[in-house]
Structure 1
Amino acid sequence: MTTSTRGAAKAPAVLVLEDGRIFRGRAYGAVGETFGEAVFSTGMTGYQETLTDPSYHRQVVVMTAPHVGNTGVNDEDPESSRIWVAGYVVRDPARVPSNWRSQRSLDEELVKQGVVGISGIDSSALT
């Protein structure tokens, strides 16, 4: 079962790496457990395209840009019909999307598609 964390206190979350390092943050998107190979996305924009790109299947995408979700999600820009990533790591997610094309928040879309994420993670510490 997945639950939305929007508008409520975000649940504590942890990111555990294969080398044993542990990073603490807050739940973002669906709440649950996931695993996969960590890969980095360095784009300042295009997070919706990254999430829906099938080449990221079974991978945990770590966003290096500090702010993610500012423009929300729409039905015109996905690369495919669903999100493929196994997990999503961000530092500072947008609280409210601000774009005339936005139809919902990134958090809402992650919950809708059952994608587990974590926020509050300094991606530079993962490299």
Structure 2
Amino acid sequence: MNYNRNSNDSGIFLLICAIVAVIGLVIWKFSTFLGLDMATGAPVFLSLIIVAGLFIVSLIFGGDWEIIHIRKIWPILLALAWACFWPALNYWSSQTLFGHFDTPWWATWYTKGGVFFAIIGLGYLINKIFEDF
């Protein structure tokens, strides 16, 4: 049994609470900046963090593994960054004015998918054009 009443476990608990509070504040500021609610802003922010992490991994390890070199995967990363904003597009399209409930063209699935594949296709076309430079 541990009869030590001067344990420092509360310090770790306070540190974890402070970190969670700072993350919540950052997500709240990000959501407010984009005009989103927290339920939409959190997945957008966290998915952008994941894409940024993939970008950093590509920069660090791109010299070792040619398949993840930034010149080869930048169109995919850009398309993934576009896909991160799909929940925000859904939220913005749900904000109605005067009872108008039709989904705008920019929030439909075919526009999102079309832009996604257009970014990838045009990115690799640009790679092909500037391959010799």
Length-normalised TM-score, structure 1: 0.20
Length-normalised TM-score, structure 2: 0.20
> Which structure shows the higher helix fraction?
2
> Which structure shows the higher strand fraction?
1
Higher RCO (C-alpha 8 Å, min separation 6)? 1
Larger Rg: 2
